[in-house]
Amino acid sequence: MSVSNTASPRGTEIGRGVAPSTVRYNREVPGLGDPVFEVSGLSIHYGSNKAVRDVNLKVGPRQITAMIGPSGCGKSTVLRTLNRMNDLIPGARVEGRVTYHGEDLYASDVDPIEVRRRIGMVFQKPNPFPKSIYDNVAYGPKINGVRGNMDDLVEETLTKAALWDEVKDKLKESAFALSGGQQQRLCIARTIAVNPEVILMDEPCSALDPIATLKIEDLMYELASEYTIVIVTHNMQQAARVSDRTAFFTAGVDDAGDRYGSLVEFDETATIFSKPSDQRTEDYISGRFG
């Protein structure tokens, strides 16, 4: 696999030092094509509580799909259904249909381990293992039985995650010695080291300062030429800067008084941020609530 520092397949140059927002809007939005995920009628229960109701959306290949919305709107919950991380939460139950390349992710014979190997995840707080930088990257390939030159794989992966130059002289040092932004890029490297098709990102920049955030956004942008990325973010500007499509979720209260999250609108990012079709979306992006 080659390092993708060159032009993205969509013909847009990725300029370092150029404000991501301007870069973003020069890019043509890729079509949904043959969708990677198709979510239809998805509801998620926690115990007796139906926390997320009736979500329908599609995630296109090699592009960035953002999920935004106020706290408690269920965007992270929906994200975790895409690689079956919700399985690990006691009492969580999924209703409806989530397909990955047309295959039902929740069919009884689907192995969640295999699902997660192909659909990686980056978390809100940088969570490197308490191991060396090298071992963090090598962990995934090792457990997945990857043979071949691990040193090369680690270098290639760290280069792809735009971290190699900063860490090449201290690969054996603890990952905890890195800054927060570097740790998060290491976590991205760890995820792409197993060569997934999809990277799910759950508010990956919420614990980082603006400079580190921009670096991650640059990185996501570059990775989108090779990977399908779904990002949950609190930061609307971030969604506007990096994503091709945006799903806006909101939190509501039903007749019984239970809070639940639902999808309001799903469209191309430019449309969501310029002429949303739902009043609630417009209120949210214009800062009237949330």
Cβ–Cβ < 8 Å for 251, 34: no
Picking from 43, 46, 42, the residue whose alpha carbon sits closest to that of residue 91 is 46
139 binds another protein, rule: CB under 8 A: yes
- In this structure, are residues 190 and 160 in contact, taking their beta carbons and an 8 Å threshold? no
**How many residues would you count in the chain?**
290
Give yes or no for residue 107 binding another protein (CB under 8 A).
no
Residue among 46, 106, 123, 164 that touches another protein (CB under 8 A):
123
Residue 198, beta-bridge partner list: 119, 228
**Distance in angstroms (rounded) separating the CA atoms of residues 5 and 19:** 17
Which segment (57-65, 131-139, 155-163, 206-214) binds another protein by CB under 8 A?
131-139
Interacting span for another protein (CB under 8 A) from 13-21, 184-192, 269-277, 278-286: 184-192
Task: Please name the amino acid found at residue 264.
Answer: V
Q: How many residues bind another protein (CB under 8 A)?
A: 29
Shortest distance in whole angstroms from residue 127 CB to another protein: 4
Residue 64 and residue 243: Cα distance in Å, rounded? 5
Give me the least distance between CB of 116 and another protein, in Å please. Answer: 5
The stretch near another protein (CB under 8 A) out of 54-62, 121-129, 218-226, 242-250 is 121-129
Is residue 261 within the footprint of another protein (CB under 8 A)? no
Q: Does the protein bind another protein through residue 206 (CB under 8 A)?
A: no
> Cα–chain-centroid distance for residue 133?
22
Binding of another protein by 135 (CB under 8 A) = yes
228 DSSP β-pair partners: 198
The span of 16-24, 35-43, 129-137, 246-254 binding another protein (CB under 8 A) equals 129-137
Cα gap 244→267, rounded to integer Å: 9
Scan for tokens 């990257």, then name that residue: 137
Task: For residue 191, state whether it binds another protein (rule: CB under 8 A).
Answer: yes
* Chain positions contacting another protein, by CB under 8 A: 83, 85, 88, 113-114, 116-118, 120-121, 123, 125, 127-132, 135, 139-140, 143-144, 174, 176, 187, 190-191, 194
